[in-house]
Structure 1
Amino acid sequence: MSIRFTAALFSAVLLATPLFAAEKHAFTPQAFEAAQAAGKPILVEIHAPWCPTCKAQQPILEKLGKDHKFDALQVFEVDFDSQKDALRSFRATTQSTLIVFKGKSETGRSVGDTGAASIAALLDKAL
């Protein structure tokens, strides 16, 4: 492989990969508490793979997560079907629930929202 080809390939990979993005994690109480203690902006997504509303939210959340404004946002995905303890701790009764925090303080919540503007406004409350 030539040096020119390798450099072009490397450049293409860098351009195709966002350098900054909201960081997404599987929910664990320990990781969530660490993000809160660090004062991070946090989004908790209560998600179910079978939920059509959750599927509608995904591309919106992915697009917003690439916005530099949300680079520091820590995203925790809670599985509605298997993480019942987390659901109780967040007082979430349905999938497609989005909850935002500034550190330890809950600053907003929505259920079933699929509007890009209103989801962006919700995420802004974590900043």
Structure 2
Amino acid sequence: MNRRTLILSAAALALAPVTAMAEMIAYSPGTAEAAINAGDTVFVDFAADWCSTCRSQERTINALRDANPAYDANITFYRVDWDQYGSGDLATSLNVPRRSTLVMFRDGVEVGRVVAGTREADIRALLDTGL
């Protein structure tokens, strides 16, 4: 191995994430509902790409998930595109008032919700209800 390959390999390894965080599952009708009805622990994020509050929540959620692998080990994460499904059956049945709503389910029951909140402590508390 030459010096250039060694340096490039070391740089690539240094830039690689330490933990592999699972992505949120893109919602399609029936997917989150099936997991909820099966009694899985499910986190549902109603978000829009253009929403600054949603982006702030996403950064916080990703940082918390990266810091605590137990979240990914115990919770299935769904992202519901508000522009596409904001008036759909799932949002309507849950009485979701707006984008930037985060909802946690355990054993088929809603156990917590954050609406338009971006405080790390609030989002962490919601995620902790899934553990």
Q: Deviations over 1:10-57 (max 9, x none)?
A: 894487234443541011243324433554321100101121211211
Task: Normalising by structure 1, report the TM-score.
Answer: 0.80
Deviation at 1:105, TM superposition (A): 1.3
Q: Deviations over 1:74-119 (max 9, x none)?
A: 1111111111213112211201100001131111011011100110
Contact kept, 8 Å, 1:22 with 1:74, in 2: the verdict is no
SS of 1:81's equivalent in the other structure is helix
Distance 1:12 1:53 in 2: 33
Q: Find the partner of 2:80 among 71, 74, 78.
A: 78
Contact kept, 8 Å, 1:42 with 1:103, in 2: the verdict is no
Q: Please list every run of 5 or more consecutive structure 2 residues that lacks an aligned counterpart in the other structure.
A: none
| Alpha-carbon RMSD | 2.7
Identity %: 34
Residue 44 of structure 1 aligns with an amino acid whose one-letter code is V
Task: Normalising by structure 2, report the TM-score.
Answer: 0.78
| Structure 2 partner of 1:103 | 107
SS of 2:79's equivalent in the other structure is strand
